[in-house]
Chains A and B, each alone.
Chain A
Amino acid sequence: MKKVVVKMMLSLCALLFLLPIMLTVVHSFGVQSVDEGNFRLTSLVPSGFSLVGYYDLLIEHFYVLRNFWNSVFYAGSITCLNIAVSVPAAYAFSQARFKGKELLFFFYIMLMMMPLQVTLLPNYIGLRDMKLLDTPLAIVLPSVFAPFSVFLLTQYMKGLEQSYVEAALLETKSVFRIMLQMIVPQLRTCILAVFVFVFAEYWNMVEQADIYLRRETLKPLSGLLAIGEGLTTSEVLAGSVIFMIPIVILYLYFHDSLEVGLESMKL
């Protein structure tokens, strides 16, 4: 009896959590009253069926497609480069021994915990001095070195078997080969988790684009949707659904790795 109650409660909670997502999807196919600059649903109960939002967004405002591909480009390249930089760094943290390693790692943790608004200014100054503002690189470069993935990968590596290195050293002297052939396969779960998590984070990026970029043609879709300049409510809803789909795909592919990988996020 008690179990049934618990199950009921949990299901209710789950429904509550899924409600915003489901409402967005359902209403994107519904009819919205035309009132610009409001961006609220006319009623919570959907009325009628229409594809007007999708049509208007994708055909009439087809330039939004460019922003969509910008988002794909930014999130994809940031995530891939970030992992390419972080895996060696994490490997070094778990293998190398040097003075101040703990301190350095603590610095990474600290940086990871910093709110974006704090790192935004140093990043901005760095970019300005390198004259990279208002280019795609402005979005990509600082984020590539974001320390979260180094932290997670290092912590995950602590739980791995360490004895293989000496055996591998007999065969090859190249650190890179050891890393690629021995470590990366073992890290697979964690790398996938990092991939999903970091991709979702930068897919959702808003402030960087607002501050580093001026040209509308370079901006990602997220900011455009949220502010919704020149778009109607139904278009914003349709855009929201389109914007969500890549994340849904990633989650469907890697949901188990994501959970297992993130579990190693501890101090």
Chain B
Amino acid sequence: MKTKRAADFIFAVFFTVMLLLTMFAEDLYRLTLPKVAVEEVTRRAFAAEMTGKDGAVYETWRTVPAIPTEALLGDYGDMVYAVNETENGLILVEYIVSTGEESEGYIEITGGILTGTLAVIGSDREIYPGQQVIITGWDESVALHTARERGEDISGYVQEMRKRLLTDIVCVVGVIPVTVVAVLLCNRFCKGRWRFLKVPALIVWCILVCLFLRATILLPGEWIPEKLIDWEGWKTNRESFQL
């Protein structure tokens, strides 16, 4: 009897912890990532001198790609960390750039990096290339708006958001009937040692399970219920394995 009590305890604790971790591990992971501040490489006006036909020197300006001076790193001051968007999130990439003039805290870029790249201008800890980061002050709606104005393809992002919303709705609505059924079943069948499964613990559990489902659906990659039968995979498999 004692061993079964112990087993009950380990069972409840272990699986609750695993469920909670599955739900929140991704968020916790995000919290541990270094936060970086970025600035887009844009064209800026730099003062320039122009010699006229008559030999007089005029004050004028030219627009060239430029980044803040604090973005330049490395012993030679020619390295720039940029944030690249990949399937695995935002990843740091290093660029070697050639620089030109400096003015008002900005420095001209004459080569090595394109306009529109997100250059890192500060971070809350040491960072290195290849690392996953998150951007501080990143406003999704603003970013989305700019992307749309630029005419970039954002349908994948919108789809992802729709999927998240749908999953949330299904899970929240799903909690209620699942909990009711489970409570009814347990009141009917849980006797003796299993009494601890009755109402309060069970409600908590059902909510946990639904949240868990939500998290697993949203974890990157495919999850079993989503793609139980993978028709495309079948086809390719059939071709490659046919004797």
Contacts and interface: CB of A to CB of B under 8 A. Distances in A.
Given A62-B21, A65-B25, A132-B234, 18 more contacts: A59-B25, A59-B28, A62-B28, A62-B219, A63-B221, A66-B219, A66-B221, A66-B223, A68-B18, A69-B216, A134-B233, A135-B230, A135-B234, A217-B222, A218-B224, A246-B14, A249-B7, A253-B4
21 contacts: A62-B21, A62-B25, A62-B219, A63-B220, A63-B221, A65-B18, A65-B22, A66-B219, A66-B223, A69-B216, A131-B238, A135-B229, A135-B234, A136-B224, A137-B228, A137-B229, A215-B222, A249-B11, A249-B14, A253-B7, A255-B3
Contacts of A118: none
Interface in A231-256: 242, 245-246, 248-249, 252-253, 255
B10 interface: yes
A73 interface: yes
Nearest to B233: A134
Q: How large is the interface on B (under 10, 10 to 19, 20 to 34, 35 or more residues)?
A: 20 to 34
A143 to B, nearest CB: 16
Given A245-B10, A249-B7, A63 B219 contact: yes
A242 B14 CA distance: 9
Contacts of B230: 134-135
Contacts of A249: 7, 10-11, 14
B241 interface: yes
B32 A59 contact: yes
Contacts of B26: 62
Contacts of A73: 224
Interface residues of A, number: 31
Nearest to A68: B18
B237 interface: yes
Nearest to B227: A135
Contacts, number: 80
A135 B228 CA distance: 7
Nearest to A134: B233
A68 B22 CA distance: 10
Interface of A: 58-60, 62-63, 65-66, 68-70, 73, 128, 131-137, 215-218, 242, 245-246, 248-249, 252-253, 255
B29 interface: yes
Given A66-B216, A66-B221, A134-B233, A58 B7 contact: no
Interface in B7-37: 7, 10-11, 14, 18, 21-22, 25-26, 28-29, 32
A196 B6 CA distance: 17
Given A59-B29, A136-B224, A255-B3, A69 B14 contact: no
Contacts of B6: 252
Contact of B7 (A63, A65, A252): A252
Question: What 3 A-B pairs are tightest by C-beta distance, nearest first?
Answer: A62-B25, A252-B7, A217-B221
Nearest to A128: B241
A133 B231 CA distance: 11
A58 B6 CA distance: 24
A217 B24 CA distance: 18
